[in-house]
Structure 1
Amino acid sequence: MAIKKSELYSSLWASCDELRGGMDASQYKDYVLTMLFVNYISDKYAGNPMGLIEIPKGASFDDMVALKGKPDIGDRINKEILRPLFSANGLEGSMELVDFNDDDKLGSGKDKVETLSKLIAIFENPGLNFKNNRAEDDDVLGDAYEFLMRHFATESGKSKGQFYTPAEVSRILSKVISVDKADKPSYTAYDPTCGSGSLLLKVADEAPNGLTLYGQEKDIATKGLAIMNMWLHGYPEASISGGNTISTPSFKENDGTLKRFDFVVANPPFSVKNWVTGINPMDDEFKRFRGFGVPPEKNGDYAFLLHIVASLKSTGKGAVILPHGVLFRGNAEAEIRKNLLQRKWIKGIIGLPANLFYGTGIPACIIVIDKENAEDREGVFMMDASKGYIKDGNKNRLREQDIHKIVDAFNRQWEIDKFCRLVPYSEIEKNEYNLNIPRYIDTQEEEDIQDLNAHLNGGIPQKDIDALQEFWTVYPNLRKDLFSPIREGYAKLNVEKSAIKSTIFEHSDFMQYDTQLNGLFEDFKSVNHSKMNAISFDTKPKDFIKTISEDILERYGNKPLIGQYDIYQHLLDYWNETLKDDVYLIVEDGWVAKIKRILEKNKKGTEVDKGWTCDLIPKELVVNRFLASEYQDLVSIETELESVQAELVSFEEEHAGDEGVLSDATNDKGTITKTTLTAFIKEIKSNPAEKESLSIANDLLKLFNREAELKKDQKDKTTALDNLTLKTFKELTEEDVRTLVVDDKWLASIKASIQTEIEAISQRLTGRVKQLAERYENTLIELDKETKTLEDKVSAHLEKMGLVWS
């Protein structure tokens, strides 16, 4: 039975993190990712003489499993698994092997044996079996690796998290340099500061037939991660070298000059202070600074940028992440910037949100370099994308809609107010080649100015009503129904404030446009319903979601009042939360509703059966479609039970207090129970003076008895309904499953999510109209009169009290 990917990755991280103990995440990641690496290549290549990777006899993951519990497990993993494996594939000496026998990091004796044995057990999870993934693009390994890397980067802190570039940012870099047009694997891509290789691999993902990859990484441990990452993702032939890129670049032509590439991407360390170590910039053998200038000795941002420029072919394209300072700092950097701009190699600049990266919290930008047809370029495409993100723990993260909008706007060179535009070179020259984004993109929101005339004389300013023109274009008759002119430039509200919302919601213009928007979803449904029902074992889930998400994006494009990227995000959110797991389950298991028991461990460690569930179909969908009347019977009982319990509370509040007739029926906590009430009735039933108390007590006892009956009925009905639901699940046909999943679950959920976006339209308009109405509801004269009236009342009261107000 397939395992939900979201549960797999979460449990994988939780298990690994639990075993970490006091070890720093930046160190512990090496053990976990090495284990994942051995697991993957063993599953994929063990016993395959034609495989790209050789797995020596005795050096597979199964052999590692056999070492669990052995007293010398750490030493044997080093000697019997890792060294033979790396030696057989020519990696010995090219990367640092993590030491599985390190007592300082893993503990000693039994502690180390237990830690390593448990770590191996985590990767025995059947969900991490890479041999038989039925989904052709089910990149369990890639997704697991990405998941772990992101969490390790988060846990490692600023100084140690630089090995990982967030996948969302990597995707932008790979999509704005036209990698999708590289249709042959002979095209080359290079990352001079490749870290763990994640950015380089994202670039390769964009190429239809792959790329030839090159990377250089100074940190030897991180270089090892990059090599493993390349192997894990099907690029064992990638060239990953070590050393300092600036002082000793690894990749050269036969004549000793720098090797040039079709694509270069990089996320170099920001503002390196010792970049000149090992190099004399004035006598650089690779001539990287000739004609541009030498970067400041204590800031290496432009050193990396000029290295990238020098590493590009004459038609090459690159993208690099750098701090905003490179856009406006003066002196030597200003001269370099001017020389780059005069060559017209800078195609665009994309300003990103702050706090995206694990190595720093400062905002950064993407500088896009394109040497091809540079002489025809008329300006630099500038974009301020700093406001599009969500909070994710202690970091910010780009959403799918942010990525798509950035890439679309950049590649199509759209002009969007307060977001992006092509800035002519003449304008840049007037600004002395300063590229600071706020000089060219004004993102300031217009100030909501108070109108003194309206405050003095009443009325709502027409200019504020005119500012809502986007609504009046769609609702042409609503404006005159809401407002009437009272004098030049001012209007009054035609309805009561309390009626603003209903007037908008019930207006024919609003309902007509609401119908149009709902029609867009019905069109989406009619086109994609068959695609959803056609999911089978040969479906590629990533192609599937791309197809339907691009369809919904296009369908809601250029529609007033509603953002197509917001709608797109709703679908992608649902994909990540639910739909992705469901699609992979169907690819693996088919259209069947497989049930499983819910087993939880109690405090003693014993597994307890907590019932059953189905990952693909929630119980309530089956109940709603097939057992509605039985469910309604249960709801009736629960409704009556709530009513009885409300009466019990009311009785207690009225009669159980210190002065209440049932005060003697309470326990030491001051509450009435059936036991205390029964004892009270027994005590007073023969006392004629307690006739009223007895009557009230008996009424309350009837409620307690009814509550008990209803609780029993509720329990019996709930059990019966659960059993009947289980029986119904087992009888579901494939057609039933398709209807429940596609119609009742997927499409219903997506529609409900999109409906919140549609409702937000009216809420925005309602909120603004109400705000204006309240702001100018009373004139200053009326407020003065009301203040005077209140003052007179206070003075009169004080005078009656014998006080004089002065």
Structure 2
Amino acid sequence: MALKKSDLYSSLWRSCDELRGGMDASQYKDYILTLLFVKYVTDKAKSDRNSLIDVPAGGSFDDVTALKGDKEIGDKINKIIGKLAEANGLEKVIDLADFNDEEKLGKGKEMQDRLSKLVTIFADLDFRGSRAEGDDLLGDAYEYLMRHFATESGKSKGQFYTPAEVSRVLAKVVGIGPGTRQDHTVYDPTCGSGSLLLKVADEAPRGITIYGQEKDNATWALARMNMILHGNEDADIRKGDTITSPQLITGTQLRTFDFAVANPPFSIKSWSNGLENEYGRFEFGRPPEKNGDYAFLLHILKSLKSNGKAAVILPHGVLFRGNAEASIRRELLRRGYIKGIIGLPANLFYGTGIPACVIILDKENAQARTGVFMIDASRGFIKDGNKNRLRSQDIHKIVDVFNRQIQIERYSRMVPLHEIADPKNDYSLNIPRYVDSSEPEDIQDLHAHMDGGIPDRDLDALSGYWEAFPSLRAMLFKPNRPGYSDLTIGVTEVQQTVLDSDEFQKFATDVRARVDDWFAAHRPMLQALNADTAPKDLITRISDDLLARFKDTPLLDEYDVYEQLMTYWHSVMHDDVFLTMNEGWLDAAKPRKTIEDKERKLSETPDLIVGSGRSATKYKMDLIPPALVVARYFADEQAEVDTLNAAAEDAGRAVEEYIEEHAVEDGMLVEAMEDGKISKTLALTRLKVARHEGADPEEIRALQHLIKLHNDEAVTKKAAKEVQAALDMATLRKYGDLSLPEIKQLVLDDKWAATIRDRITGEVNALTLTLVSRIRQLGERYAETVERLDTELEKLKTKVAMHLAEMGIS
């Protein structure tokens, strides 16, 4: 049965959340992820004989499933997980969650029911076909759960998870990519649940050797499970405090690595408690006793090979705080170790709401480094619940700009070291000192207010539009005097003038053609989707090409175009690809009856309903919405339905208007009203009484006419309903007749291509609204001169004086 990925995830989360009761999300996640782990390794052992995890008899998820309804289910699950742990040396890793804890899971029947339902949820999932590329059901479901658990856990307990979007930025700017070898090493000294390390591993298609350390015992166990779940069973994740007890050492020295990434706890006060061996980490200065930010940064620097590279998330304070931190910062800059700084938006992380930055360290050719590349990406994000989140376009822009060292006004700049070292800056790295990301001030022009006209300076600031539409400025404006212009039309006519201009029409047509050419180039690949397709590689290829095709388009920001595709990919297209890969084109396109699963809290909204009342059958069309089938094959029938619906609306409106006209006080229909309405039944009842009482003939005629209007409405509604029912049945039958080429045409051309084209065309329309809004603002701002206002004021003063004189007031 076809079922969208997004439905599986949301169903899984709702089910888990429903069963957690009063338990804190940060605790409950250990139960959920432990069951997810046992289910995954059990399924993998069935399909992969070379699996590194041994699933012994009595230690599988099948054994857990057999316990549903068992009075001792909690204790027996513990024993099953214990056997699995013992067989693989995973004691104190996968067996930390106590499934027999009455305080957390309830007593007796409550625990029995809760765990039985929980087991049922996971029993329905099948991970045997799970892919290693990160496109698999398991990896995405895990990511979905982790993000929700982090959100629910709150600031104090959500630090185990670094948002996937930020992790991708770090992985890409640190230099890991297709050229990375499997024997290259990556290290995270504060690895949490391992999510950051895994995103780094995703960027290395040939593989990379993973090392990490985590202080919290439960989170360390989570990281170990996480590595196994994602096919990195041999990752070396140590337990302990990285600063006071680094575990990855060689003799008396810290082990060194090719790459490092980290999201350490911000500004930790107790970083030096129990510190005995500094391992030469603080050669450039000892961090303040009450702030450990530089302790982690210096530890990472010391842990890099001579050509090593790192990306570290830290609070902005490390860029400008004084005293000991200023001394350390100066030494790092003088030696060229800091390659770049990226300022991120506030409220991205689950452990804190403050804005953070990414510091990129690079020891390779450090002595020859002459500047620090800075990016202010603080304005690029989208609201997502109570957090902010980087969009696909924000990630891509940050990575492109940093890796290519592209300088963009108000966004990025290569800042020379001599400027940073200047006494006025004194080695401060505070980004606003060097990159002013604020919007230019909208300056009021006094001369324009005095003498009229729109300043040419303000019009010149719209140069991007005039470059895209060369004759539009002359069409909209005429000279007033040197440096000032006047609108040639009224401000209310500006938008239509822009939309009707030949140049705008050509621009919009060219954009649509560019999208069509892009889609045509990739259509053969999309048409060839099958079980071996790697969705991540697919979307990377087509989205990067779209970005490249719009790179030199005037006015349009190629990253805005890219975001339209990526938003559609995440919301719809990825689900479609997943269905097609797993079900095949023909099966994925088949209608299915909607799911009503009370236990999993899954209730679907039907796309098509055939029949009515209790005999109605509700259908879901996951891949091809009915509207697409109707538009292509039943356009005439839909036009008839639309005509009948319009007639029914007219008939209903005629009823409302007649009642409104005659149900007023002393009106002919007022006696038939009840609660402000007159139904057909009320009208018939009143007509019967009126005839019996010998009422005013006018009232009887009014009631008869109203009944006729009600009958006309009922007839047109019935006709529309019957034709709609016939169309729905024909549409359902058509799904069964669709050939493979027809299915691909509906999905590729009518759904994907058309939607992406419309979304990108919407970006073009949005541009015109921005231009029109600014022109209207300028036109209205300088429409009235001070002289004209003074004249009007004098006239009003004279009128007031005259009125006062007439009233006898001097």
Band the TM-score falls in, shorter-chain normalisation: over 0.9
What secondary structure, in the 3-state scheme, does the structure 1 residue paired with 2:231 have? coil
Equivalent residue pairs, number: 794
Closer/same/farther in 2, CA of residues 136 and 155 from structure 1, 3 Å limit? closer
- Correspondence for 2:259: 263
Does residue 354 of structure 1 match 2:346?
yes
Residues 680-719 of structure 1: pairs in structure 2 closer than 5 A:
680-685=686-691, 690-719=696-725
- Correspondence for 1:163: 160
Does residue 145 of structure 1 match 2:142?
yes
Distance in 2, Cα, partners of 1:48 & 1:534:
27
Does residue 288 of structure 1 match 2:281?
yes
- Correspondence for 1:32: 32
Distance in 2, Cα, partners of 1:730 & 1:677:
47
- Correspondence for 2:22: 22
Closer/same/farther in 2, CA of residues 45 and 95 from structure 1, 3 Å limit? closer
> How far did residue 583 of structure 1 move?
0.8
Distance in 2, Cα, partners of 1:799 & 1:695:
62
What secondary structure, in the 3-state scheme, does the structure 1 residue paired with 2:156 have? helix
- Correspondence for 1:559: 553
Task: Return the letter of the residue paired with 2:96.
Answer: L
Distance in 1, Cα, partners of 2:133 & 2:323:
54
- Correspondence for 1:615: 622
> How far did residue 537 of structure 1 move?
2.5
Alpha carbons 1:656, 1:671 under 8 Å: kept: no
Distance in 2, Cα, partners of 1:554 & 1:77:
53
- Correspondence for 2:296: 304
> How far did residue 715 of structure 1 move?
2.2
> How far did residue 681 of structure 1 move?
2.4
- Correspondence for 1:276: 272
- Correspondence for 2:330: 338
> How far did residue 285 of structure 1 move?
4.6
> How far did residue 46 of structure 1 move?
4.6
Residues 398-797 of structure 1: pairs in structure 2 closer than 5 A:
398-430=390-422, 431-592=425-586, 593-600=589-596, 610-667=617-674, 669-685=675-691, 690-790=696-796
Distance in 2, Cα, partners of 1:50 & 1:772:
71
> How far did residue 782 of structure 1 move?
2.3
Q: TM-score, normalised by structure 2?
A: 0.95
Does residue 90 of structure 1 match 2:97?
no
> How far did residue 96 of structure 1 move?
5.9
Cα displacement string for residues 507-566 of structure 1 (whole angstroms, at most 9, x for unaligned residues): 122222222222211221221222221212222211111111111110100221111000
**2:206 counterpart (202, 205, 209):** 209
Between 646-655 and 688-697, the greater mean CA deviation after superposition: 688-697
Distance in 2, Cα, partners of 1:93 & 1:342:
46
Alpha carbons 2:188, 2:212 under 8 Å: kept: yes
Closer/same/farther in 2, CA of residues 775 and 516 from structure 1, 3 Å limit? same
Distance in 2, Cα, partners of 1:414 & 1:85:
52
Alpha carbons 1:134, 1:537 under 8 Å: kept: no
Task: Return the letter of the residue paired with 2:35.
Answer: M
Distance in 2, Cα, partners of 1:530 & 1:49:
36
Distance in 1, Cα, partners of 2:809 & 2:262:
75
What secondary structure, in the 3-state scheme, does the structure 1 residue paired with 2:57 have? coil
Task: Return the letter of the residue paired with 2:344.
Answer: L
Cα displacement string for residues 684-709 of structure 1 (whole angstroms, at most 9, x for unaligned residues): 34888723333322221111001111
Task: Return the letter of the residue paired with 1:571.
Answer: L
> How far did residue 94 of structure 1 move?
5.6
> How far did residue 640 of structure 1 move?
0.6
- Correspondence for 2:609: none
Closer/same/farther in 2, CA of residues 522 and 640 from structure 1, 3 Å limit? same
Task: Return the letter of the residue paired with 1:447.
Answer: E
What secondary structure, in the 3-state scheme, does the structure 2 residue paired with 1:680 have? helix
- Correspondence for 2:610: none
Distance in 2, Cα, partners of 1:599 & 1:108:
32
Alpha carbons 1:135, 1:537 under 8 Å: kept: no
Distance in 2, Cα, partners of 1:719 & 1:277:
75
> How far did residue 787 of structure 1 move?
4.0
- Correspondence for 2:607: none
Alpha carbons 2:648, 2:713 under 8 Å: kept: yes
Closer/same/farther in 2, CA of residues 598 and 92 from structure 1, 3 Å limit? closer
Task: Return the letter of the residue paired with 2:69.
Answer: G
Between 296-305 and 606-615, the greater mean CA deviation after superposition: 606-615
Alpha carbons 2:651, 2:716 under 8 Å: kept: no
Closer/same/farther in 2, CA of residues 409 and 48 from structure 1, 3 Å limit? closer
Does residue 99 of structure 1 match 2:98?
yes
Task: Return the letter of the residue paired with 1:266.
Answer: A
Alpha carbons 1:455, 1:779 under 8 Å: kept: yes
Alpha carbons 2:94, 2:225 under 8 Å: kept: no
Distance in 1, Cα, partners of 2:508 & 2:735:
37
Task: Return the letter of the residue paired with 1:239.
Answer: D
> How far did residue 133 of structure 1 move?
4.9
Task: Return the letter of the residue paired with 1:55.
Answer: V
- Correspondence for 2:53: 53
Cα displacement string for residues 655-700 of structure 1 (whole angstroms, at most 9, x for unaligned residues): 1122322111112x12111112112223334888723333322221
Structure 2 unaligned regions, length at least 5: 604-613
Task: Return the letter of the residue paired with 1:629.
Answer: D
> How far did residue 134 of structure 1 move?
8.1
- Correspondence for 1:387: 379
Between 403-412 and 554-563, the greater mean CA deviation after superposition: 554-563
Task: Return the letter of the residue paired with 1:58.
Answer: G
Distance in 2, Cα, partners of 1:502 & 1:779:
27
Between 47-56 and 295-304, the greater mean CA deviation after superposition: 47-56
- Correspondence for 2:63: 63
Distance in 1, Cα, partners of 2:522 & 2:484:
49
Alpha carbons 2:93, 2:224 under 8 Å: kept: no
> How far did residue 796 of structure 1 move?
6.5
What secondary structure, in the 3-state scheme, does the structure 2 residue paired with 1:771 have? helix
Closer/same/farther in 2, CA of residues 689 and 201 from structure 1, 3 Å limit? closer
Distance in 2, Cα, partners of 1:502 & 1:6:
41
Structure 1 unaligned regions, length at least 5: none
**1:187 counterpart (179, 184, 187):** 184
Distance in 1, Cα, partners of 2:437 & 2:783:
32
Cα displacement string for residues 227-259 of structure 1 (whole angstroms, at most 9, x for unaligned residues): 000000111111111111101100111x32110
**1:365 counterpart (357, 360, 379):** 357
What secondary structure, in the 3-state scheme, does the structure 2 residue paired with 1:356 have? coil
Cα displacement string for residues 152-185 of structure 1 (whole angstroms, at most 9, x for unaligned residues): 0000000000000000000111101111155321
Distance in 2, Cα, partners of 1:804 & 1:87:
107
What secondary structure, in the 3-state scheme, does the structure 2 residue paired with 1:123 have? helix
Task: Return the letter of the residue paired with 1:264.
Answer: A
Alpha carbons 1:184, 1:210 under 8 Å: kept: yes
Distance in 1, Cα, partners of 2:132 & 2:213:
33
What secondary structure, in the 3-state scheme, does the structure 1 residue paired with 2:664 have? coil
Identity among equivalent positions (%) equals: 53
> How far did residue 319 of structure 1 move?
0.8
Task: Return the letter of the residue paired with 2:86.
Answer: S
Q: TM-score, normalised by structure 1?
A: 0.95
Distance in 1, Cα, partners of 2:670 & 2:523:
64
Distance in 1, Cα, partners of 2:620 & 2:426:
66
> How far did residue 300 of structure 1 move?
0.4
